[in-house]
Structure 1
Amino acid sequence: MRRRVTAATNKVEAYNGFSEWLHFGNRVVIADNDSIEREKAMKSNSLLTNTVIFHNTLELADIVRELQAQGFGVVA
């Protein structure tokens, strides 16, 4: 159970680190006092993070299929 919790925690921390790395403007400080604007900024950053992850996943899947078509064995 501890290993599973640690693995899940590591995934969340990696996601958060990547999201922070992608974030643009004002060093990840949301200075606006308007809660709606803060929420929009956070959701926009989350959308950007998920979009980049999805794009990379599609690119990797294409590469794996291409390697398989060329006769290379791909191990999961």
Structure 2
Amino acid sequence: MMQVVLSIQAGQVLPSTLLKKLGVYSRQSSLYKAFSELGRVERTLFLLEYMSNTDMRQQIRAETTKIESYNAFTDWIAFGGPVLCSGDPVEQEKRIKYRDLVANAVMLHNVVDMTNVLGELLEEGIRVTPEIVSRLSPYLTEHIKRFGLYLLDMAIRPEPLRPRPLFTTT
């Protein structure tokens, strides 16, 4: 394994070439077995760290929850559900990009609305803390008519975004 690492560092072997060979090689190959065992060791070390480190578990759980929330949000947005109907990779890629474009537009709209409401609360003298804001999510869908009729008037310009600080640093 050290020879492989040194060969990669010296530029004699491309990492992509090595990965291709390891993918095709028989499982009886000594190099395959060595890297497989190294992977098992790394996985075991990670699991031991994960089990013993509460902060790490909480952080991983929080990030996983964010990803799952985003995926559920984009599945909700996708007309026809999360299933990709076409086997054509170009059509699949277009469907995913369009879905993400709509998702980003909805999230931007949600964030603008939430920022405006938080600003109004501050003007009314209600204290808004970073802890409260950290619990908000841009993945709101209750206010959206999913299959509603939408008229687009390109002559009407939206109000400009007026971001304002919610918190003052002291």
> Is the pair's TM-score, using the shorter chain for normalization, greater than 0.5?
yes
> So what's the TM-score if we normalise by structure 2?
0.41
Distance in 2 of aligned mates of 1:7 and 1:52: 22
Aligned to 1:5: 60
> What's the offset of the Cα at 1:52?
1.1
Match of 1:35 among 89, 99, 119: 89
What letter is aligned with 2:61? T
Aligned sequence identity (%): 36
> What's the offset of the Cα at 1:32?
1.5
Segments of structure 1 that go 5 or more residues without pairing to the other structure are none
Distance in 2 of aligned mates of 1:44 and 1:74: 35
Distance in 1 of aligned mates of 2:57 and 2:129: 27
Segments of structure 2 that go 5 or more residues without pairing to the other structure are 1-55, 131-170
> So what's the TM-score if we normalise by structure 1?
0.86
Residues 1:46 and 2:78 are matched in the alignment: no
The higher-RCO structure (CA 8 Å, 6+ apart) is 1
Number of residues paired by the alignment? 75
Of Structure 1 and Structure 2, which has the larger fraction of its residues in helix? 1
